[in-house]
């Protein structure tokens, strides 16, 4: 891959990974509720799910998704329902002691969520279409795209988990936990809008 294309890929991955979306809002919520260390499995599941999406997109699944609107709709509905369920969990988590009884999203759950996350599919399809031109080096380009998503994407999403963890001391103040959890629930529910625009 030429240097200019590699730099463009790196910038694309950085922008798509650090901008708000369902993954980042969920990571911030998890960092807030469980701390950075307990959010790590969730954080590591995201790039692995995206890497699997990239390979599937490169193998032709991206074209199928583009041609089958019912499959796209099913993904949007499933992703929306999952986010509503998470928002309800956050809304009900009133106090820190109650939050401690809950468990963070697991590695496998985070990885699986990528398959119903339309933003992740769009990101993967665009990356493959733009940065992996057909030809004899197609698989090499696809592997490089996956490596960049892992190397650049992970630190970008870690910022969101770290930001949530930095807000964690506020949870110890009386009444603040309820307000913060409800604000995070509202943000999680609002990210559903991103699926539909």
Kindly report, residue by residue over 100-115, the tens digit of the pLDDT: 547 899 999 999 999 8
Asked if residue 13 has pLDDT above 70, the reply is yes
Task: Give the range of the structural domain holding residue 79, as residue numbers without chain letter.
Answer: 3-196
Asked if residue 68 has pLDDT above 60, the reply is yes
Asked if residue 181 has pLDDT above 90, the reply is no
Q: In this predicted structure, what is the pLDDT of residue 197?
A: 67
Contacts of 157 (CB under 8 A, 6+ apart): 17, 18, 23, 24, 27, 43, 46, 47
Q: In this predicted structure, what is the pLDDT of residue 164?
A: 92
Asked if residue 124 has pLDDT above 80, the reply is yes
Q: How many domains does the chain have?
A: 1
Rounded Cα distance between 55 and 59, Å, is 6
Contact 116, 53 (CB under 8 A): no
Distances in Å between the Cα of 192 and the Cα atoms of 22, 83, 119, 138, 186 are: 8, 7, 11, 34, 10
Contact 160, 39 (CB under 8 A): no
Burial grade of 68 (CB within 10 A; 0-12, 13-18, 19 or more)? exposed
The confidence band for 98, taking pLDDT boundaries of 50, 70 and 90, is very low
């Amino acid at each position: 891959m030429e240097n200019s294309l590699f730099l463009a890929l790196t910038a694309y991955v950085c922008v798509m990974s650090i901008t708000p979306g369902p993954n980042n809002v969920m990571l911030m919520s998890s960092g807030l509720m469980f701390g950075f260390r307990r959010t790590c499995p969730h954080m590591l599941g995201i790039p692995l799910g995206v890497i699997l999406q990239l390979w599937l997109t490169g193998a032709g699944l991206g074209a199928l998704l583009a041609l089958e609107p019912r499959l796209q709709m099913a993904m949007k509905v499933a992703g929306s329902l999952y986010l509503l369920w998470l928002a309800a969990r956050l809304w009900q988590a009133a106090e820190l002691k109650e939050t401690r009884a809950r468990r963070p999203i697991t590695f496998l759950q985070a990885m699986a969520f990528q398959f119903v996350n339309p933003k992740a599919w769009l990101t993967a399809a665009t990356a493959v279409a733009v940065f992996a031109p057909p030809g004899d080096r197609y698989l090499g380009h696809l592997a490089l795209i996956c490596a960049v998503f892992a190397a650049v994407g992970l630190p970008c999403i870690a910022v969101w988990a770290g930001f949530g963890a930095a807000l964690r001391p506020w949870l110890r103040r009386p009444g603040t936990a309820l307000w913060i959890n409800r604000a995070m629930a509202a943000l999680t529910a609002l990210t559903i809008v991103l699926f539909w625009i």
